[in-house]
């Protein structure tokens, strides 16, 4: 368990360690999906994901495909953890100091504007679908930190904090986009009941300690109401995180928020996200032509992730320092910051999630196949080039420190 005396810095480092390690599991899950989707078991793989499953608990009745259960069910836990993380960072962590917010927040803003513009330019030029512009806006924090961990030894720790802060703001922006763009056809009665439950739960938790079973039941109820009401479960999960208390309920008690993060994070990192990656990364290359591999949707997503992300993140970070509003991460060079900006193009999990919302339909539909190819291409390219730039930037800085003629 996490000690109540642990500092915010120690807690953040533990979080980073878990995130970086889970990246390897995510990579293996994605690789396994690609292998299975192009094996003799491909038909079983796609059939299981498209098969409808029914949940019946008394009057509660939900029927969704296995792919939808993973997207709306399991991934709601991921967004709950993201919400808890955002709340902690705002109240106790890096985001609690407004001065530390400016550069990564502006970089995150640029990292959402530029990829969308690049996608729209490419899609418009190639006559591609315009609704795919939100797909390259997201950064996959787990994969980005995993790649950073591979080459990050010897790099300033401030770069890790910068990447984490940027990714948190990026996640918040992505969640807001999901709520605005992909929560159509809302039924307001279930949503009103969900909001009422959140208000009651928040008020109750401020007055006294709430046992863990009530939190579990409460989350299950608001989740079901959000699905029944047609609202994205990502939004309701983050809203639920807001009412989880961050302060200990007694001298011998721990923070309910820290407890929830500690208990949920390993399951999300090593179970939920890999399952989602396995379900969404499976692309069958059988019958794919060069024309489909270079389709406007594919090129637009890949260009948004690889070109748009680095331009937006690095450009807006430079602008923040140029205007005097922010500062470069401590002891970090511009070359190293550029390497981190490249890693922000690793969209993977979040981009696949948004892609499934932007182009609803069967997981093996032409649009979904093109989304997967574009996300994989842009993410892999960003990860490889970003790792190379960071490795070269690290060696360059070491050489400058060791060369007396440069000092």
Q: What is the pLDDT along the chain (407 residues), one digit of tens a residue?
A: 334 444 555 544 454 455 556 767 878 888 899 899 999 999 999 899 888 887 776 666 778 888 888 888 898 998 898 888 878 877 887 667 777 778 999 999 999 999 999 999 999 999 989 889 999 998 887 778 778 877 877 888 788 888 878 887 887 787 778 777 776 666 788 889 999 999 998 888 887 777 878 888 999 999 988 888 877 787 788 889 999 988 876 666 678 888 888 888 888 888 888 898 898 888 787 777 788 888 999 999 999 999 999 999 999 999 999 998 888 888 889 999 999 999 999 988 788 888 888 888 766 678 888 898 999 899 999 999 999 999 998 766 544 444 444 34
Among 320, 310, 312, 314, which residue's Cα sits nearest to residue 103?
320
Q: Dig out the tokens for 253 from the structure.
A: 């008690």
Q: Can you give the pLDDT at residue 50?
A: 86
Q: Can you give the pLDDT at residue 14?
A: 54
State the sign of the Cα–Cα–Cα–Cα dihedral 287, 288, 292, 297. positive
Distance (Å, whole) CA 378 – CA 358: 18
Tell me the whole-structure pTM to 2 decimals: 0.74
Q: Can you give the pLDDT at residue 406?
A: 37
Distance (Å, whole) CA 97 – CA 137: 25
Q: Can you give the pLDDT at residue 343?
A: 95
Q: Can you give the pLDDT at residue 136?
A: 93
Distance (Å, whole) CA 259 – CA 382: 34
Q: Which residues contact 87 (CB under 8 A, 6 or more apart)?
A: 241, 242, 244, 246, 257
Q: Can you give the pLDDT at residue 95?
A: 64
> What does the pLDDT look like over 282-328, one tens digit per residue?
878 777 778 888 899 999 999 999 999 999 999 999 999 999 888 88
């Amino acid at each position: 368990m996490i000690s109540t005396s642990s500092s915010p810095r120690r807690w953040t480092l533990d979080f980073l360690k878990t995130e970086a390690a889970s990246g390897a599991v995510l990579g293996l899950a994605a690789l396994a999906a690609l292998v299975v989707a192009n094996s003799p078991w491909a038909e079983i793989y796609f059939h299981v994901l498209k098969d409808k499953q029914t949940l019946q608990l008394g009057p509660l009745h939900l029927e969704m495909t296995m792919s939808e259960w993973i997207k709306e069910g399991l991934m709601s836990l991921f967004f709950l953890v993201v919400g808890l993380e955002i709340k902690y960072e705002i109240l106790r962590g890096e985001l609690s100091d407004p001065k530390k917010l400016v550069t990564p927040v502006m970089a995150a803003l640029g990292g959402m504007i530029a990829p969308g513009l690049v996608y729209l330019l490419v899609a418009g030029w190639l006559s591609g679908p315009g609704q795919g512009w939100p797909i390259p806006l997201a950064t996959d924090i787990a994969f980005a930190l995993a790649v950073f961990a591979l080459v990050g030894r010897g790099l300033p720790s401030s770069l890790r904090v910068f990447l984490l802060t940027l990714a948190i703001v990026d996640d918040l922006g992505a969640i807001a986009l999901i709520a605005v763009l992909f929560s159509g056809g809302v039924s307001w009665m279930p949503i009103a009941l969900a909001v009422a439950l959140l208000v009651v739960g928040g008020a109750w938790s401020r007055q006294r300690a709430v046992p863990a079973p009530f939190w579990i039941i409460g989350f299950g109820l608001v989740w079901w109401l959000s699905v029944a009401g047609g609202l994205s479960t990502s939004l309701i999960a983050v809203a639920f995180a807001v009412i989880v208390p961050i302060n200990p309920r007694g001298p011998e008690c721990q923070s309910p928020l820290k407890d929830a993060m500690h208990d949920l994070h390993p399951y999300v990192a090593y179970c939920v996200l890999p399952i989602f990656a396995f379900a969404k990364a499976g692309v069958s290359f059988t019958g794919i032509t060069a024309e489909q591999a270079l389709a406007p949707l594919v090129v637009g997503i890949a260009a948004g992730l690889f070109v748009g992300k680095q331009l937006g993140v690095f450009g807006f970070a430079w602008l923040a320092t140029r205007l005097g509003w922010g500062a470069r991460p401590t002891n970090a060079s511009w070359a190293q910051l550029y390497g981190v900006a490249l890693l922000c193009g690793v969209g993977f999990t979040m981009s696949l999630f948004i892609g499934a919302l932007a182009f609803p339909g069967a997981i093996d539909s032409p649009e979904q196949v093109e989304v997967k190819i574009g996300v994989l291409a842009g993410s892999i390219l960003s990860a490889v080039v970003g790792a190379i730039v960071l490795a070269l930037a690290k060696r360059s800085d070491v050489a400058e420190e060791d060369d007396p003629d440069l000092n």
